[in-house]
Amino acid sequence: MSRSRKSLLFGLALIPLMVGGFVFQQRESQQGARLLDQVLNIVSTRFVDTVDAATLYEKAARGLIHELNDPYSVLLSPKELSTFNAQTNGRYAGIGMEIAETQGSITVQRVFPHTPAEAAGVQEGDHINFIDTTNIHGWTVSQTSDALKGNPGSRVLVKFSRPGVPELIPITFTRAVINIPAVPYAIMLDGKIGYLPLLQFNESARDELETSITRLSRQGAKGVIIDLRGNPGGILDQSLSVSNLFLKKGQQISSIRARNGENQTFIATDDPVAPTIPLVLLTDGRSASASEIVAGALQDHDRALIVGTTSFGKGLVQSVFPLEGGYALKMTTAKWYTPNGRSIQKERRLLPNGDFVEVMPDSLETDSVRRSRPAFRSDAGRVVYGGGAITPDIIVRPDTLTTTEQKVFNAFAPKTADVRVTLMDYSLELKKTVRPDFTVPPAWREEFYRRLQAKGVTIDHAQYEQAGSEIDRLLGNTVARLAFGDSTAKRRSIPDDNQLVHAIDVLKQSTSQKDLFAIAQREQSAASASARR
């Protein structure tokens, strides 16, 4: 009998089993659906108090999803779906401001470029008093943000107060789609190292990154650092496009493995924009999802050196299923794997209190723990580690606060809102008095302490002074950002960012990607030798 005929007969023989199993499963599902419907019907019609049937059905649906023990599967209400779409796309219809709560009022903290707010002359430090005819005194940031957003082309009247201006400033805005940048800036460090933060994977992430990399290359960058720290992910298609900027055409980027063998493999389809420039990625425990797809692909193919701490370990694929009434079900449908087969997902379990915790709560940042995990090989034969998440090639932990500094910030914790308001108000005053190369004088720290005391934030003055360097950094970086923007604030903070300093240092020692990996190997060997002593 021919091989093809055997295969055909074998396949036909399986059909009754598969169909029978499907019928049995379908019958059980129908019985369960009838049971739920009967219970909800009796409760909605016979319970001693009046209950809303629609609310019962929604709560039942949410309870069903909760029983999946998956923190990423959720039923989205129409409002939640709208927010989810805006966050995912990086776009919304509004006027283009970042706002914060200060002294019981809402203050403009940042005006985004090329937006209605910028065109109308809104300034950082302006206070919002009215939206249309409503006095918003006492509103939260969330309430204000919701009121400012709307359909593209719709109009909203906002009345501002501005220090030094006696009358309210009324401005009627026409809402427009606001694009939140994925790459807010790209700068040169030490004349030859390019640095850029990739904050999210929105629909423009790939284009913004390509533009920034191209500009840095033209400025003479001999190496580039892409900062993925704190990047929670976003549109997964963009993670594939971003990876394709650096990988060769035909190389695998990632794969997903789903139920019933519904697997997919994703391949680089275009020639890379930056095929050879030495590349370092910074990661930490908040780098997740799409960030980990990029880091895993570039690590497996020896295209980037990973520096920092182990990533979050979110390797689950969520699909969004539209439902009636404007609802949607966001549900996990598959898992992501790196090109060499490492699972990105860290195993987690649900506690009785509803928290999800790692089954093995370590960050793979000791030599002995790292060796206990499954080892894989990159294209060039380098050892890379599995077991969930992306383990950096060079582990660099962030600086920690001293005991005294920790005590000070612990004292701040119960009054976080008051501390934040005081910091913002004082920084808005100071920003008018500084130049880009300013230093923080002791008088600023003393005045900040006085204002905190006036706000009811009590802390021992001697302890406060012992944490003076950290307080000065907080004041200096906040004032710099408000006065000159994020890039200037970042330049000021570099000496305090030991992960970035390390990345700059290894790039300075390298002329190629191969050099970077050689440095990493030497550091790993030195760390292993030190651990054995």
Which residues have a catalytic role annotated?
A: 289, 300, 314
Containing 129, the helix (H) or strand (E) segment is strand 127-131
Residues in the chain: 533
Distance CA 480, CA 476 (A): 6
Residues 6+ apart with CB under 8 A from 194: 186, 187, 188, 213, 216, 217, 219, 221, 223, 224, 225
DSSP of 484-526: H-HHHHHHHHGGG-HHHHHHHHHHHT-SSHHHHHHHHHHHHHH
Contact 43, 51 (CB under 8 A): yes
Closest CA to 73 of 63, 82, 83: 63
Return the SS3 of 152. Answer: coil
Name residue, tokens 């950002």: 481
CA triple 327-330-331, angle to 5 deg: 140
Distance CA 90, CA 109 (A): 19
Return contacts of 463-467, CB within 8 angstroms, 24+ apart: 463/404, 463/407, 463/408, 463/411, 464/408, 466/404, 466/405, 466/408, 467/401, 467/402, 467/404, 467/405, 467/407, 467/408, 467/409
Rounded to 10°, the helix 486-493/468-484 angle is 150
Distance CA 336, CA 315 (A): 5
What are the backbone angles phi and psi of residue 478, rounded to the nearest 5°? -70, -45
Distance CA 391, CA 387 (A): 9
Distance CA 427, CA 504 (A): 30
Name residue, tokens 């497996």: 300
Q: Which sign does the torsion angle of CA 406, 412, 416, 419 carry?
A: negative
Q: Dig out the tokens for 482 from the structure.
A: 């408000």
Quote the distance between the C-alpha of residue 117 and its chain's center: 25
Distance CA 391, CA 384 (A): 8
Alpha helices in 47-115 (DSSP H): 53-66, 78-89
